[in-house]
Amino acid sequence: MNKNAIEELKTVDENKRLENIKKAVEKGVLIPCTHGVIIGDNAEISAGALVLEGSIILGNSTVGENSVIGPNSLLYNMKVGRDTHLNAFQGCEAEIMDGCDIGPFVHVRPNSVIKNSVHLGNFVEVKNSTVDEHTSVSHLTYVGDSDVGKYVNFGCGCVTVNYTGKAKFRTTVKDHCFIGCNTNLVAPVTVGEYGYTAAGSTITEDVPDNALAIARARQVNKINWVLKKKPYKGME
């Protein structure tokens, strides 16, 4: 949790917590169960938004109409648009625009912008990156120091490899790309429009528009290798 968020929480006792919840409800915010809900003094939640139990909204966070926060979400200095759902989410000093479907178990870190109608699924982390409209990053993926275009699809287990141990570099993924499962994009690198990467590839060179990049060893099958090496556990 952000240190400033922790400091703000130290100032919230039970009376203040209930007072801020009451103010939000009177404005038209829907809070069907107040268990674990904390709303900071400077947070602005629009009428019609739904805040579910275990959700904490702090700092100068704003939440648009008809958005759903929670359950179990933490926002600090976040700007959240309309009709967006954040489920089991943590975000700090970033923006999520309208119509997004985020979570569960997503972390959006500072200086990130998630544009309209983006899907970020379970166990996705975004840091210092822009993800453009209608892009899907469904599961188990890290997008760091990157500029991702529209209508991009990331398969499971992808990583933007942004750090050498000394310096960080950016990755660019242009519109309509398809990033295959278990792809490593080693920055600095660009995947051109409609570019594809084959599953299991480690991409170290730019991918031209409309190209398929394959960067993996060719499969070799060792026939009867197991029979020669047995017995293993469970084998006679």
- Catalytic site includes residue 134: no
Q: Which of 216, 151, 142, 147 is nearest to 178 (CA)?
A: 151
* pTM flag (> 0.95): no
Task: Read off the pLDDT of residues 120-154 as tens digits, 9 standing for 90 and up.
Answer: 999 999 999 999 999 999 999 999 999 999 999 99
Catalytic residue among 85, 107, 134, 139: 139
Exposure string for 19-58, b = 16+ CB within 10 A, e = fewer: ebbeebeeeebebeeeeebbbbeebebbebbbbbebbbbb
pLDDT in tens, 216-227: 999 999 999 888
- CA–CA dist 229, 80 (Å, integer): 58
